[in-house]
């Protein structure tokens, strides 16, 4: 969702010399500003965000441990581009490979992890595409785990930002790895290529990318006063400028906008009367927390209204929509969100059924 026009700041976003870019609030998911964000382009090493996402999912599902040892194939060892310098036929822990992937942007680490999880890099790329589909990344297609150039390997600034947003939300403890400034493996120390980690203490990630054809790219994220922003810049002409451009976007977002929580996930929004149920009423709430992003000073002009489905007759499933919450600005609707019951409602007994049948007739 894009920040509604009514809630946008009068301060214009910075003008950037980049192929495409986007600035998004991580918690609300709302886009603050963008340019060519849906353009399909080469993502270079930003592809490793998806590689890491799948690795984290495998760990979360219990299929992969940090202590697992991964045998380094000749293909992984020979992979060109940035490396963590693993040795062929050696065994490297998943923990070290993840750091090599994230901090050093090691292509060898990416291939080794891909082969370990899926048997081959080709099989792993199918997992990447399956995840992209589930996440709604409709502008992305992956053909390798590294981001090395391939005519059928592409993504968009919008998709990479959404992927980052979900990664931070689902794996906050793993996201902390993106703030590591350097990593030493095989007696070779390499710094994180994200220059913003040294320039701004609020910045704690995320990932750089570069090939000759893609240019210099960067996804950056920072948090201030409970608000987290993600800025993605694609196709710049230098590593210094990509850092400068992302920093400008982040500074703009924090200066011109504020984000806040309207409703928590399990917070009662309204109480709905129930007919023919084992209970006479049920609380209505949102499926997910509702965060909003507005220009500074506009929050006071916001409001909300609730419309419940009537009559509400049991049985009622816990995922059933029983109403809607309308988000409003100066009385005009700017967003609509479904309400669900706090718990399932079972059918009542014969007396309740008979009594409520009469109530429904005389309504």
Residues designated as active site: 45, 48, 105
| φ/ψ of residue 131, rounded to 5 | -65, -40
Angle at 68 between CA 66 and CA 69, to 5 degrees: 125
Looking only at Cα atoms, what is the longest distance across the chain?
82
Question: Please, which residues have CB within 8 angstroms of residue 150's CB and are 6 or more apart in sequence?
Answer: 143, 144
Q: Which residues of 283-321 are buried (b: 16+ CB within 10 A; e: fewer)?
A: bbbbeeebbbbbbeebeeebeeeeebeeebbbebeeeee
Contact 68, 146 (CB under 8 A): no
| Euclidean distance between CA atoms 107 and 146, whole angstroms | 5
């Amino acid at each position: 969702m894009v920040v509604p026009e009514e809630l946008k700041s009068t301060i214009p976003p910075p003008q950037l010399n980049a192929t495409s870019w986007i600035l998004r609030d991580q918690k609300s998911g709302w886009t603050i500003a963008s340019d060519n964000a849906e353009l399909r382009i080469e993502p270079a090493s930003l592809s490793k965000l998806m590689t890491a996402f799948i690795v984290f999912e495998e760990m979360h599902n219990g299929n992969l441990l940090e202590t697992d040892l991964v045998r380094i194939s000749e293909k992984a060892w020979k992979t060109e581009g940035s490396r963590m310098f693993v040795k062929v036929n050696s065994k490297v822990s998943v923990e070290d490979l993840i750091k090599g992937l994230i901090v050093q942007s090691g292509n060898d680490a990416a291939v080794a992890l891909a082969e370990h999880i899926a048997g081959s890099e080709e099989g792993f790329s199918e997992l990447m595409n399956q995840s992209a589909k589930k996440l709604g990344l409709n502008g992305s297609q992956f053909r390798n785990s590294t981001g090395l150039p391939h005519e059928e390997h592409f993504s968009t600034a919008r998709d990479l930002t959404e992927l980052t947003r979900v990664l931070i939300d689902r794996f906050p403890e793993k996201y902390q790895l993106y703030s590591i400034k350097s990593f030493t493996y095989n007696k070779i120390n390499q710094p994180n290529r994200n220059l913003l980690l040294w320039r701004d203490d609020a910045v704690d990630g995320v990932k750089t990318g570069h090939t000759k054809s893609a240019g210099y790219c960067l996804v950056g994220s920072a948090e201030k006063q409970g608000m987290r922003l993600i800025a993605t810049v694609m196709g710049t002409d230098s590593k210094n400028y990509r850092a400068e451009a992302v920093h400008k976007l982040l500074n703009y977002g924090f200066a011109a906008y504020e984000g806040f929580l309207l409703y928590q996930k399990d917070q009662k929004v309204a109480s709905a009367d129930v007919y023919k149920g084992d209970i006479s009423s049920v609380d209505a709430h949102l499926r997910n927390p509702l965060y909003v992003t507005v220009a500074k000073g506009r929050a006071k002009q916001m409001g909300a209204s609730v419309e419940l489905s009537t009559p509400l007759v049991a049985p009622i499933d816990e995922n059933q929509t029983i109403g809607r919450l309308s988000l409003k600005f100066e009385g005009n609707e700017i967003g609509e969100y479904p309400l669900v019951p706090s718990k399932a409602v079972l059918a009542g007994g014969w007396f309740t059924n008979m009594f409520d049948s009469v109530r429904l007739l005389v309504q």
